[in-house]
Amino acid sequence: MPKINNTDRAYSTKDICSLLSIHKSTVRRWVLDGTLPQPIKIGRSTRFLKSEIDQIINQKKSERNEVAA
């Protein structure tokens, strides 16, 4: 289970779509293939932790920089 701190924001699927400029079906597919972390469920709501999304983005940036070097 992901560790949640008091300042961690929870993104909705709509927020993720806007942030990454992708469709909601892409969010689902990326969760299934492991590109995005599993969301947490709060009632019927699906939420992604900002810290985990930031970690994925930073990891992809590092991978990009390694390939360019």
Q: pLDDT at position 65, please?
A: 85
pLDDT tens digits, 30-60 = 999 999 999 999 999 999 999 999 999 999 9
Q: What is the pLDDT of residue 5?
A: 64
Q: What is the pTM of this model?
A: 0.79
Q: How confident is the model at residue 2 (pLDDT cuts 50, 70, 90)?
A: low
What's the token pair of residue 13?
A: 């699927």
Q: By C-alpha distance, which of 18, 67, 6, 68 is closest to 53?
A: 18
Question: Residue 36 gets which letter from DSSP?
Answer: S
Class (C level, CATH) for 10-68: mainly alpha
How far is the CA of 19 from the CAs of 5, 22, 48, 67, in angstroms?
A: 21, 8, 12, 24
pLDDT greater than 90 at residue 1: no
Amino acid at 27: V
Asked if pLDDT for residue 61 goes beyond 70, the answer is: yes
